Structure 1
Amino acid sequence: MTIRLALVRQRYNPFGGAERFVATTLEALMRKNDDLSLTLITRKWSGGELKHGVIECAPPYLGRLGRDRSFARCVQRTLARERFDLVQSHERIAGCDIFRAGDGVHAAWLEQRSRQQSLLGRIGTALSPWHRYTLAAERAMFADPRLRAVICISELVRDDIRRFYGVPEQKLHVIYNGIDLERYHPGLALEHRAEVRRQHGIPEAAPLFVYVGSGFERKGVAPLLAALSRAQATDSHLVVVGADKKLESYRQQAERLGLAERVVFTGGIKNVLPYYGAADAFVLPTLYEPLSNAVLEALACGLPCIVSDHCGAAELIEPGVNGHVCDALDVAALSAHLDRLAQPGVAAGMREAARAAVGHLGLAAMSERLLGLYRSLL
């Protein structure tokens, strides 16, 4: 029996982890099962040629609220017109069979965000039409009786959904993102370490941390810079890979902290493999992150990782074995973790354990779990 599956994702950004996951998942599912017919419903896709059907939902809009609301309405009209066996949405849209919570729980994100906001900032968030719409859409989607399953990309996401919306346990399925273990591997160090360090003037023996992610405020670049400036290992370097509208202000922060010679900002780049290969360890002190593909990639490359306790990937970290975990805003703890991994031989001694942490998360394993869920629902 051919399963007609529709995947809903509003947009594709080649620098976004969630969007890259959709592209990877589509191809992995198509390779895994000839009886699966895939259709992508999207506003805009700029990720390259697709080997499956695409339905564009691109009504005109004004502003972020208008963008999300108009897309949701267009998707709902499309689903009423088309006939699919299953509809899996990666957006907060009621009327779908499956919701993949790849962006986490908006209510949980706002809870964490409020920790670093001023009183006026919290009031502004509470009054924001877009945040109010997103929370209402999230609430309506989880309460919709047509929702039959939720793919939680970490236990963190599952627990947040239960806590905020009381979704029954039987609807919640934890399926971690798959990782291409052949593309991301410890051998990248042999290919890229020397050249990348030469390009950026980083000494071969200097401890090098890499950060990968866009949206610096949420993902903790400011606390990371502060922690690096406090670290006792004054030869440690940091490469920040990712795009941000305020990137220049973070460069200025690094200069004020005396880090201009030890921090490199690359901006958004599509191929991050050379930087994984050049680094000794990975760091992502994010305020809220449902999982983080970048952490999975770094672990697969044999890099011990420092992550926050509100990052789903913290579930894969065994402190002192393949990395460390701390509160996103605890600059002192983050600085201490940087110093531990900067000690000679410490990060290198964790490489094998880092790789082993994601050895069970290959693309084939993820595809099997997804297909098993689809078949159970049918």
Structure 2
Amino acid sequence: MKIGLVRRGFSGTGGAEAYLMRLAHGLTQAGHEAILITSSEWPAERWPGRGIIRLPGRTPDEFAAAFAASKAPVDITFSLERVPGCDVYRAGDGVHAAWIQRRSKFEPWWKAMFHRYNPKHLALMRLERGVFQTARAVIANSRMVAEEIVRWHEYPQEKIHIVPNGIGGALAAADRVESRSALGLDEGYLALFAGSGWERKGLAFALAAAEKADAKVLVAGRGKKAAYSSPSAIFLGPVSDLPPVFAAADVFILPTIYDPFSNACLEGLAAGLPVITTTANGFSEIITPGVHGSVVEPGDVEGLAEALRYWRSQDRAATGKACRELAAQYSIERNVNETLAVLGKVL
């Protein structure tokens, strides 16, 4: 099967890009041709598939128009981008209207109104409506997103397939003591927070909870440090070598306001770390609270602090084993096979 995989733009640290490259590799290994349909930013050397088709378009609207006017020489188009006319859409970014609604609970009314009527957000919601009016099937990576698609877009539930994210296997082991020494860290209790988009991912809540729980937060990723000044914060900046950072941490924390299914949480789980997150993260659906992590409501700082205290007292080895065993069930191979099953139904 010749599969056109659609994604505009490129970020070297983006979760969607990392997933798409793993997917392309898996599709290729399964004997299919993975053709990337993208804009000019994606480096050719960072694509493991068969080829790249580049379309013009600096904005989502422009790229969607270019996609609609093109006719890629593929059997089926599988899009991670909001482009009306794709055969199968993977709602990896969730439902934009749901995100706007969720964030409004944590911002002043005037800012919420600004986001609601911002031309950029209106354009994304318009494109999203177009996708759900034309897609022959939709893949959601969590029940949360599947329910939002039905609620916001009245898309037929029977055409939605839930395929959780998958990762490429266990991370390379790193020594805890050596990792902390290399990072200049002491023996205190450390929670790891990884990713960009710190407002959406709830860094402020993580730092406030850490202060209550006498913990430090390792912040791996790019963001505005000045806006998150805290005695609990240890800013590492963008990190390319993740195993030592995971090894240095005691727990992974992502108190997100909205995340369809966090890959970073799955990677933390694979590293043997219990994950503290929120009900607004689709990832929370796969864990058993008290065994693999903790789940609180978004913005619940006291709940986060309580979770940090709880995991401080648990057996690290037993918890790590349970977390790694669960993460092993969510491999990229499983994701590829389930994705191919959906594409096969459409064809």
Per the TM superposition, whether the score is higher than 0.5 is: yes
**Residue number among 19, 35, 38 corresponding to 2:34 in the alignment:** 38
Partner in structure 2 of residue 137 of structure 1? 127
Equivalent AA in structure 1 for residue 70 of structure 2 = T
Check if 1:242 corresponds to 2:221.
yes
Cross-structure match for 1:48 = 45
Question: 2-side partners of 1:22 and 1:239: how far apart?
Answer: 27
- The question of 1:313 aligning with 2:309 is answered no
Post-superposition shift, 1:331?
A: 0.6
Whichever residue aligns with residue 368 of structure 1, its letter is N
**Contact 2:219 2:236 (C-alpha < 8 Å) held by counterparts:** yes
Q: Give 1:354 shift.
A: 1.1
Q: Does 1:127 align with 2:97?
A: no
Among 228, 241, 246, the residue aligned to 1:276 = 246
Q: Percent identity?
A: 34
Is the contact between residue 34 and residue 50 of structure 2 (CA under 8 Å) also seen in structure 1? yes
Distance 1:98 1:197 in 2: 44
Where does structure 1 differ by over 6 angstroms across 4 or more consecutive aligned residues?
Answer: none
Structure 1 residues without counterparts, runs of 5 or longer = 62-66
SS of residue in 1 equivalent to 2:70: helix
> In the TM superposition, what is the alpha-carbon distance from 1:47 to its structure 2 partner?
7.3
Aligned to 1:169: 157
CA contact 1:302–1:355 (8 Å) conserved in 2: yes
Aligned with 1:87 (options 77, 92, 103): 77
Partner of 1:64: none
- The reply to whether residue 219 of structure 1 matches residue 215 of structure 2 is no
Tell me the alpha carbon deviations over residues 309-345 of structure 1, each in whole angstroms, 9 at most, x when there is no partner.
Answer: 10011012211111100012011111111111122x4
Among 210, 215, 231, the alignment partner of 2:192 is 210
SS of match in other structure, 2:116: helix
CA contact (8 A) 2:191 2:253 kept: yes
Corresponding residue number in structure 1 for 2:183 = 200
**For the Cα contact (< 8 Å) 1:285–1:307, is it kept in 2?**
yes
Is 2:143–2:282's contact at 8 Å kept on the other side of the alignment?
A: yes
The Cα of 1:180 is off from its aligned counterpart by 1.4
**Contact kept? 2:87, 2:136, Cα under 8 Å:** yes
d(CA) in 2 for partners of 1:165, 1:192: 48
Question: Structure 2: any 5+ residue segments left out of the alignment?
Answer: none
* Corresponding residue of 1:375: 344
CA distance in 1, matches of 2:116, 2:266: 33
Identify the match of residue 295 of structure 2 among 292, 302, 325.
325
In the alignment, structure 1 residue 75 sits paired with structure 2 residue 59: no
Distance 1:224 1:108, change over 3 A: same
2:4 counterpart SS class: strand
Partners of 2:44 and 2:52 within 8 A in 1 = no
What is the DSSP-based 3-state SS (H/G/I as helix, E as strand, rest coil) of the residue aligned with 2:105?
A: helix
Matched, 1:16 2:4: no
Aligned residues: 345
Does the aligned pair in 2 maintain the 1:192–1:277 contact within 8 Å? Answer: yes
Distance 1:126 1:276 in 2: 37
SS at match of 2:9: coil
Q: Is the 8 A contact 2:5 2:77 kept in 1?
A: yes
Report whether the alignment pairs 1:25 with 2:23: yes
SS at match of 1:6: strand
Tell me which residue corresponds to 1:6.
4
The question of whether the paired residues in 2 share the 8 Å contact of 1:304 and 1:347 is answered with no
Secondary structure (helix, strand or coil) at the match of 1:116 reads: coil
SS at match of 1:228: helix
- Superposed displacement of residue 172, structure 1: 0.4
Q: 1:11, 1:42 within 8 Å by CA — same for their partners in 2?
A: yes
The alignment status of 1:334 with 2:308, answered yes or no, reads no
SS of residue in 2 equivalent to 1:209? strand
Give the deviation of 1:95 after TM superposition.
0.5
> Which residue does the alignment assign to 1:58?
56
1:155 to 123, 128, 143: 143
Distance 1:88 1:326 in 2: 34
Q: 1:117-159 CA deviation, whole Å, 9 max, x = no partner?
A: 1111011112200111111111121122xx1111101111111
Amino acid in the other structure paired with 1:164? W
Matches within 5 A, 1:274-313: 274-313=244-283
